[in-house]
Amino acid sequence: MTTVIALRHGETDWNAERRLQGWAPTPLNDRGREQAESAGIHLAATYDFDRILASDLRRTHETATLVREAGIEPDPILDRAWRERDFGVYQGLTYETMSDEYPEFSAERSGQSALAETPERGESLIDLRERIVDAFERLTDDAIDETVLVVTHGGPLYALFSQVTDREYLDLITGESQANCAVNEFRVDDGITVVRANDTSYRE
């Protein structure tokens, strides 16, 4: 059985300001570093990891490093396949501005049609989903009987959950949330079982 733990990165100032980060090199803020350290302590006490993969963006790399320093053995391997969606020219806008001024990209306002809309110099939500599904399939094909930590972003996690649970992608984007440093656990055997989803109870 293969176990994949998917962790969203810690908080950044752009998270707090509700800005589209995309591929921006935004660092963790003080709260985000505390979240990552707390997640690392919990994960080190709960799992025996064979490897750590992380998106190569700054906030995920920093999160993976802090998690590693809390007592997890493998060094992080950076993998750009696990990056957040590329928002192209709209990177840095607030979610509210994006929704009000460019509603064609808003899943809440435009529904299914927003999934295929591609920002200039960016990627669509469908493109993101295909990238993440491919990365997950390659990982599970390669990591047989391993326990792997993947440090990634909110967007990729919605895409991943839509694949493994057969839930509507649009419903996950518009109706679910992923907290910073939330833990998600998938067990892969004959099928894929979701054991934990958006779990931050270790901080309570």
Active site residues: 9, 84
Q: Supply the DSSP string of the chain, one letter for each residue.
A: -EEEEEEEPPPBHHHHTTB--TT--PPB-HHHHHHHHHHHHHHHHH---SEEEE-SSHHHHHHHHHHHHTT--SPEEE-GGGPPP--GGGTT-BHHHHHHH-GGG-HHHHGGGGGG---TTS--HHHHHHHHHHHHHHHHHH-TT-EEEEEE-HHHHHHHHHHHH---HHHHHHH----TT-EEEEEESSSEEEEEEEE-GGG-
